[in-house]
Amino acid sequence: MTPGRPVPPPLALHIPPADDAEQDLASERAGEGLLAAARGAVSSTSGLVPLTVARRAPKADDVEIAVEFCGLCHSDVHATRGEWGTQNYPLVPGHEIVGRVSRVGADVDDFAPGDLVGVGCIVDSCRECESCLDGFEQYCEQGMTGTYGAKDRRNGDAITQGGYASSVVVDRRYVLHVPETLDPAAAAPLLCAGITTFSPLRHFGVEEGDVVGVVGLGGLGHMAVKLAKAMGAKVKVFTTSESKVSAALELGADAVVLSRDEEAMTAENRSIDIIIDTVAAPHDLNPYFRTLRRDGALFQLGLPSEAMPPVNPGSLIRRRLSYAGSLIGGIAETQEMLDFCAEHGVVSDIELVGAEELNEAYDRMVAGDVKYRFVLDTTTLQAPSERADA
């Protein structure tokens, strides 16, 4: 810590368990800002516990949002459990946020109280670099500000806190309009799982007749199936779970391959144009490269905490294949994706969970036991006496 530098106030405070009086505070205003009821981690081994987050009073460009739903992404598990290295604790995860605008700052004219809105993985960026100017804020050359666990440069270097919370305040430039025709709970996962799979499909120019392979049928994977189908592609799913075969076909997949079955894998050689790999653990990519046609590409989206087995350069060279990565998507592209989903009736298949079920939901996600995205109902964050159904 630099001597003499003002210390920013902590944004998240750990509340001792189950004190109703303190939890009641969560819905009251802290000065001009809000105290949000939240769930987050206080260490890599704490699991998710009740927290209170102080949200800033909306500045001129800010949108204050009453969060209704927040999807549970596997990245939330990696981050809260410290699997991606040191984190700033306390840490409130959540970057698949849908809610209604409660207040706007003086200079906001594109959002109004009552609007259905979304916030994804980005809440700020430098707004000046080539990537930001091109609408690819996720690749900001100065580093984008993530929705949680990041230093908020324009707000006193406070650590951002995410959407497992009753409210959030975000600059209007990073807030999305969620079409009213979409179910708000099922639309929440579009803000990360949706855009993360939409962006590489669009970047590769997937169109009618292309063959798309989807590896791993979890949150990202099932969105990749739905979006690729909506773009007119033929979809083959590669899964390690026999139990997901019929479910994949119900989602719209044209074929399902059990990736541990070598013969079944060989039968797919040279049959696919683009692979979207969403697996959250280390795995061998070489069998997948063999399934690609000339000029095909494999986009790796999963970010396992341990090293992956090496890729054989020979398989890339012999058919001019590309091995690519892709990070979420820019703000304009995220809006395009939401509008595309409204036009094609695409949302996530979800299982709604309450605040008390979050830790179990994380364990089930790691075990691959979810079809296909858990979504937190934020009304369960309030003290029991405040719940409408209590």
Q: Which of 278, 291, 334, 348 binds ligand NAP (CB under 6 A)?
A: 278
Q: Which of 12, 41, 101, 132 binds Zn ion (CB under 5 A)?
A: 132
23 near ligand NAP, rule: CB under 6 A: no
Query: What is the identity of the amino acid at 317?
Result: I
Helices (H), the chain: 20-24, 74-80, 130-133, 184-187, 193-203, 219-230, 245-251, 262-266, 286-289, 313-317, 331-344, 358-366
Return d(Cα 116, Cα 137) in angstroms, integer: 22
219 near ligand NAP, rule: CB under 6 A: yes
Q: Give the number of residues written for the chain.
A: 390
Q: Tokens 């990202």, residue?
A: 220
Measured CA distances, 99 to 25, 117, 156, 178, 291 (Å): 21, 6, 26, 9, 41
Return d(Cα 361, Cα 72) in angstroms, integer: 8
218 near ligand NAP, rule: CB under 6 A: yes
Measured CA distances, 381 to 11, 52, 92, 165 (Å): 17, 10, 13, 7
Min dist CB 86 to ligand NAP, Å, is 17
Of 63 and 280, nearer to ligand NAP (C-beta) is: 280
Give which of Zn ion, ligand NAP, none residue 216 binds (C-beta under 5 to 8 Å, depending on kind).
ligand NAP
Give which of ligand NAP, Zn ion, none residue 132 binds (C-beta under 5 to 8 Å, depending on kind).
Zn ion
Q: Which of residues 164-203 bind ligand NAP (CB under 6 A)?
A: 192-193, 196
23 near Zn ion, rule: CB under 5 A: no
Min dist CB 193 to ligand NAP, Å, is 6
> 303, 269, 273: which is closest to 286 by C-alpha?
269
301 near Zn ion, rule: CB under 5 A: no
Interface residues with Zn ion (CB under 5 A)? 73, 75, 125-126, 129, 132, 140, 192
Interface residues with ligand NAP (CB under 6 A)? 73-75, 78, 192-193, 196, 216-221, 239-241, 244, 278-281, 301-303, 326-328, 365, 368
